[in-house]
Amino acid sequence: MAAADPPPSPPVRFGILGCANIARKVSRAILLSPNSTIVAIGSRSAEKAAAFAKDNGFPESTKTYGSYDAVLEDPDVEAVYIPLPTSLHLHWAVLTAKKKKHILLDKPVALNVGELDEILAACEASGVQYMDATMWMHHPRTAEMKAFLSDEQRLGKLKAVHSIFSYNCGGAEFLKNDIRVKPDLDALGALGDTGWYCIRAILWACDYQLPKTVTALRDAEFNESGVILSCGASLLFPDGKLATFYCSFLSNLTMEISVLGENGFLRVHDFVIPFNENVGPFYTNSKTKFSELSIGIEPSPSECLVKTELPQEALMVKEFSSLVKKIKDGLGSEKKWGVISRKTQVVVDAVKASIEKGFEPVEVVYQ
Amino acid sequence: MAAADPPPSPPVRFGILGCANIARKVSRAILLSPNSTIVAIGSRSAEKAAAFAKDNGFPESTKTYGSYDAVLEDPDVEAVYIPLPTSLHLHWAVLTAKKKKHILLDKPVALNVGELDEILAACEASGVQYMDATMWMHHPRTAEMKAFLSDEQRLGKLKAVHSIFSYNCGGAEFLKNDIRVKPDLDALGALGDTGWYCIRAILWACDYQLPKTVTALRDAEFNESGVILSCGASLLFPDGKLATFYCSFLSNLTMEISVLGENGFLRVHDFVIPFNENVGPFYTNSKTKFSELSIGIEPSPSECLVKTELPQEALMVKEFSSLVKKIKDGLGSEKKWGVISRKTQVVVDAVKASIEKGFEPVEVVYQ
């Protein structure tokens, strides 16, 4: 280190609520990120928490608790990662904020925008940072794709977006009993779990403009308990842009975004989780014309490869932790992540409402 | 040639109606195909016909006429390629059939299914072969993709299809004055020109099962004359399969099909016209799972490259000409191309009806 460099800041100290499978990946990310560490984990079983900490290489000093409350009471914990089932988010996120801990909240963030508003209000009242754990937002590829989409020459006016996120890793047992399809745990089903990403992708592509109308596609599929297993929707934007998505627990793992503009086209096939941790590809065409006699096209499509040293989930933690540091430095919290979360939730709610209204269009109201 | 080989059949003798730009490509295909040749072309101007024949390397013996009627009266003409504006199809295709000439009819084949039924009835009455000029159907890639889609292991139950075909080659002048957007010439606009391919792709993927409901996506775009410049629709099938498409004259050239099944996924990015004339790629994933810690997937996607010696449009002409030969051999006509055309037109009509009904669902009736 050069003599003039400031001393490094101490890492942001995370506590984790629960031993969800996804917490293994995010724990690794917290430990990979240069400005964060793990100091506590709580589970309903202290033994389970201890085993989780050991199995996932947590620091030896990590405290393992037999309750979530104990994590929130621990004065050493500055920030909390919450990977609990969605129906528990309202209670635990609000409590976390009240305890003045910063919140990295897994998605779907809430069962509806009313719940999310309570969470965001609690964060605001306590002055803590809020971010949802939508990892792909933080891959450097996402910024490079956005640069393409924002380029008047290369993409031009955006006309249409389509996104798919589906996976099929369960079979009958999953579709009946997994947390993600239990009405008392994750009542939004595939819409909350996979549709969240599609909706976020559409809003991201549209510079977070909200659609004016959302119409669910006929038909959706449900399990015995009425939880959504697959659905889709079309979104109409004020300027005439049109977006569609399809999300599912019943189809092969697929993670696509296609964005069509007046002058160009962008597609990405692994937007949620890159096939390769260190490099994210995307594909573009611009000002494409049929060649002479219409027996081909000009110019050829381009592949763009975006490398990253840290996986996207570690970049997410790094960004979150740097925002926490800003608050500690007296610079206040970053509001944009709450705004983006809320817009995503508003559209999730509108899709659900449209399904419940028999696939009628729903006006999107953003207050 | 080995002594035992039968003598080669004489080539099917084509006449061409008009000097449309697309006729250049199809003329080349007729001359490339081993079982066909061109013997006549008619235009409203004999000079134009003669210049077209010369510019496109037609055989020296080709007769050039100053009317379409003269082509149909020519006893040397066995088959007619009709690339006229859609509003002229009914008149000229029915007349062609009445003159006992086989018909290769460009798409969209008619303004509505009632017109197409008149054309098909005329072909049936005269015992002539009918085929629409949807070239990609004849690329060997199409059969290989179909093999993937039909494979219970690799794709499984088909769940969703999405297709896009758009191009943007005109600007204001095109959008106002091109044949493809003139209400008296091609009243179906982008729906007939580019939507035709998307709808065909969806029906092809679904084994030509018809949807039970078609709902146009809000909103469509129109030119001053009310001709569609961009639109989309969702199609619901009796077994719950869901398809969406987007077609446009207002966006960059894009030609996509995505097919999602329980066990797999297929995508192709140049389905209408392969980027490369000699090889058509497509991409598949099967039984894809997240890898340990969900930091990637297994197995990796596959690229499949399908080579073709003849371009797809020459394979189309070759197939058509072989069906003509079967009729000449007393084996009767092949009905499937009429059936496929008609189903495509039925869905085109349903999308148009849904747009006209304010984007309400339209039941598909197939009689």
Please compute, for residue A201, the number of CA atoms within 13 A of its CA located in the half-sphere on the CB side.
Answer: 30
Q: How far apart are the first and last CA of chain B?
A: 49
**Region for residue A59 given its phi and psi (left: phi exceeds 0; alpha: psi -120 to 50; beta: otherwise):** beta
Mutation for B interface: A56, A234, A248, A262, most B CBs within 10 A: A234
- The DSSP H or E segment spanning A45 is none
Per-residue confidence (pLDDT) for residue B365, from 0 to 100: 84
Q: Measured between beta carbons, which residues in chain A are less than 8 angstroms from residue B160?
A: 164, 230, 232, 246, 248, 251
Q: At what angle do helices A312-328 and A21-32 cross, to 10 degrees?
A: 60
pLDDT of residue A229: 95
Neighbour-count burial for B110-136, b at 16+ CB within 10 Å, e otherwise: bbbbebbebbbebbeebebbbbbbbbb
pLDDT of residue B3: 55
Residue A75 DSSP SS3: coil
| Contact between B258 and A263 using a beta-carbon 8 Å cutoff | no
pLDDT band at A204 (very low <50, low <70, confident <90, very high): very high
Considering only CB atoms, B164 lies closest to which of A258, A263, A294, namely: A258
Judged by CB atoms closer than 8 Å, whether chains meet at A252 and B287 is answered as: yes
Residue among B240, B289, B300 minimizing CB distance to A275: B300
Domain boundaries, chain A: 12-136+315-338, 137-312+343-363
Instruction: Answer whether A262 sits within 8 Å of B240, measured CB to CB.
Output: no
Residue predicted with more confidence, B225 or B307: B307
Residue B27: phi, psi to the nearest 5?
Answer: -60, -45
Q: Name chain B contacts of A288, Cβ cutoff 8 Å.
A: 167, 252-254
- The token duo for A141 is 């590829």
What is B172-184 written as a DSSP string? HHHHHHSGGG-TT
Structure confidence at residue A346 (pLDDT): 98
| CA angle at A123 for the pair A122 and A124, rounded to the nearest 5° | 90
Sign of CA dihedral B167, B173, B179, B180: positive
Asked whether the beta carbons of residue B251 and residue A217 sit closer than 8 angstroms, the reply is: no
Minimal C-alpha gap between B135 and chain A (Å): 11
pLDDT digits (tens, 9 = 90+) for B55-114: 999 999 999 999 999 999 999 999 999 999 999 999 999 999 999 999 999 999 999 999
Average pLDDT, integer, range A176-181 = 81
What is the per-residue pLDDT for B358?
A: 97
Residue A4: is its pLDDT beyond 70?
A: no
Tell me: pLDDT of B311 over 70: yes
- Kindly state the DSSP code that residue B276 receives in the 8-state scheme: B
> Which of chain B's residues have a Cβ under 8 Å away from the Cβ of A24?
293
Q: Is the pLDDT of residue B1 over 60?
A: no
Tokens describing residue A188: 């939004």
CATH architecture of the domain B138-308+343-363 equals: 2-Layer Sandwich (3.30)
**pLDDT at position A171:** 76
How far CA A132 is from CA of A12, A41, A123, A181, in Å, comes to 17, 19, 13, 21
Structure tokens at B144: 């290989």
Task: Give me the numbers of helices (H) and strands (E) for chain B, helices first please.
Answer: 11, 18
Q: Which residues of B177-214 are buried (b: 16+ CB within 10 A; e: fewer)?
A: ebbbbbeeebbbbbbbbbbbbbbbbbbbbbeeebbbbb
Question: Looking at the partner chain, which of A160, A252, A287 has a beta carbon nearest the beta carbon of B261?
Answer: A252
Check CB contact under 8 Å for B164 and A260: yes
Query: Which residues of chain A neighbour B213 with C-beta distances below 8 Å?
Result: 218
pLDDT at position A174 is 81
From the CA of B143, how many Å to the nearest CA of chain A?
20
Q: How confident is the model at residue A169 (pLDDT cuts 50, 70, 90)?
A: low
Kindly indicate the confidence band of residue A43, based on its pLDDT and cuts at 50, 70 and 90: very high
Interface A:B, Cβ pairs < 8 A? 203
The residue-averaged pLDDT of B155-184 equals: 88
Q: Indicate the pLDDT class of residue B4, thresholds 50, 70 and 90.
A: low
Do B25 and A295 lie within an 8 Å CB cutoff? yes
- Beta-carbon separation of B260 and A254 below 8 A: yes
The percentage of chain B sitting over the pLDDT mark of 90, rounded to a whole number, equals 91
- DSSP assignment of B341-360 equals HHHHHHHHHHHHHHHHTTS-
Can you tell me the mean pLDDT for A140-154?
A: 98
Nearest Cβ partner of A252 from B230, B248, B265? B265
First to last CA, chain A: 49
Contacts of A198 in chain B (CB under 8 A): none
Outline where chain A has alpha helix (H). Answer: 21-32, 46-55, 68-73, 89-98, 113-126, 140-149, 171-177, 189-190, 196-205, 312-328, 336-356
Q: How confident is the model at residue B178 (pLDDT cuts 50, 70, 90)?
A: confident
Q: Do B244 and A248 touch (CB under 8 A)?
A: no
C-alpha atoms less than 13 angstroms from C-alpha of B224 in its C-beta half-sphere: 7
Q: Burial of B99 by CB count in 10 Å (0-12 exposed, 13-18 middle, 19+ buried)?
A: middle
Distance from CA of A290 to the nearest CA of B (A): 8
Q: How far is A124 from chain B (nearest CA, A)?
A: 33
Alpha helices, H only, B209-335: 312-328
Contact criterion met (CB below 8 Å) for B57 and B33: no
What does the mean pLDDT of chain B come to?
Answer: 96
Q: For testing the chain B interface, which of A254, A310, A362 should be mutated: the one with the most B CBs within 10 Å? A: A254
Task: Find out whether A145 and A282 touch, Cβ atoms under 8 Å.
Answer: yes
Across the interface, whether the CB atoms of B253 and A289 are under 8 A apart is answered: yes
Residues 6+ apart with CB under 8 A from B195: B165, B188, B231, B245, B247, B348, B351
Q: What is the pLDDT of residues B238-264, one digit of tens each?
A: 999 999 999 999 999 999 999 999 999
Which chain B residue lies closest to A298 (C-alpha atoms)? Answer: B275
A219 and B236 within 8 Å at the Cβ level: the answer is yes
Contact residues on chain A for B267, CB-CB shorter than 8 A: 256, 269
Looking up tokens 């297993």 gives: A229
Q: Which of B252, B265, B294 lies closest to A288 in CB terms?
A: B252
- The reply to whether residue B269 touches residue A24, judged by beta carbons under 8 angstroms, is no
Helix (H) or strand (E) holding B285: strand B279-286
Nearest to residue A199, comparing CAs of A230, A227, A231, A163? A163
The mean per-residue pLDDT over the stretch B305-313 comes to 98
State the residue for tokens 């035709």.
B196
Closest-CA residue of B relative to A297 is B275
Closest Cα in chain B to A235 = B218
Strand pairing of A102-105 and A36-42?
unpaired
Q: How far is A58 from chain B (nearest CA, A)?
A: 15
| Residue contact A246–B24, C-beta within 8 A | no
For residue A1, the model assigns a pLDDT of 46
The pair of three-digit structure tokens given for residue A333, joined into one six-digit string: 């919290």
CB proximity list for A41: less than 8 A, separation 6 or greater: A15, A16, A19, A49, A52, A53, A58, A62, A63, A64, A65, A71
CA-based torsion, B209, B214, B220, B223: positive or negative:
positive
Across the range A53-58, mean pLDDT stands at: 98
DSSP-derived secondary structure for A222-237: E-TTS-EEEEEEEEE-
The residue in chain A having the minimum alpha-carbon distance to the alpha carbon of residue B263 is: A252
- B360 backbone dihedrals φ, ψ, rounded to 5°: -80, 155
- Average pLDDT, stretch A89-114? 98
Q: Do B246 and A244 touch (CB under 8 A)?
A: yes
Closest approach of A367 to chain B, Cα-based (Å): 23
> Would you call B218 and A234 a contact, using CB atoms and an 8 Å cutoff?
yes
Q: Give residue B169's pLDDT.
A: 65
Question: Using the beta-carbon criterion (under 8 Å), do A273 and B262 form an inter-chain contact?
Answer: no
The whole-number average pLDDT for the span A116-122 is: 98
Cα separation of A20 and A18, whole Å?
Answer: 6
CB proximity list for B340: less than 8 A, separation 6 or greater: B132, B200, B203, B208
Q: Which residues of chain A lie closer than 8 angstroms to B28, CB-CB?
A: 293
Which of A156, A252, A256 minimises the CB distance to B288?
A: A252
Orientation angle between helical segments A21-32 and A46-55, nearest 10 degrees = 50
CATH superfamily, with its number, for domain B12-136+315-337: NAD(P)-binding Rossmann-like Domain (3.40.50.720)
Architecture of domain A137-312+343-363: 2-Layer Sandwich (3.30)
CA dist., res. B4 & res. B72, Å (int): 38
In chain B, pLDDT over 70 holds for what percent of residues? 98
Burial letters B279-311, b for 16+ CB under 10 A, else e? ebebebbbbbebeebbbbbeeebeeeebebebb
Quick one: pLDDT at residue A182?
87
Amino acid at A280: G
Q: How many CB atoms lie within 10 A of CB A308?
A: 18
CA atoms within 13 A on the CB side of A313: 24
Residues of B with CB below 8 A from A233's CB?
Answer: none
Contact A275 B288 (CB under 8 A): no
Residue A34: Cβ within 10 Å count: 14
pLDDT band at residue A3 under the 50/70/90 scheme: low
Query: In chain A, which residues have their Cβ closer than 8 Å to the Cβ of B262?
Result: 168, 250-252
Give me the percent of chain A exceeding a pLDDT of 90: 91
> What is the assigned CATH class of domain A12-136+315-338?
alpha beta
Residues B327/B345/A263/B283 CA torsion (nearest 10 deg): -60
Which pLDDT does position A177 carry in this prediction?
Answer: 79
- Give the side-chain half-sphere CA count within 13 A for B299: 11
B236, B252, B293 ranked by CB distance to A218: nearest: B236
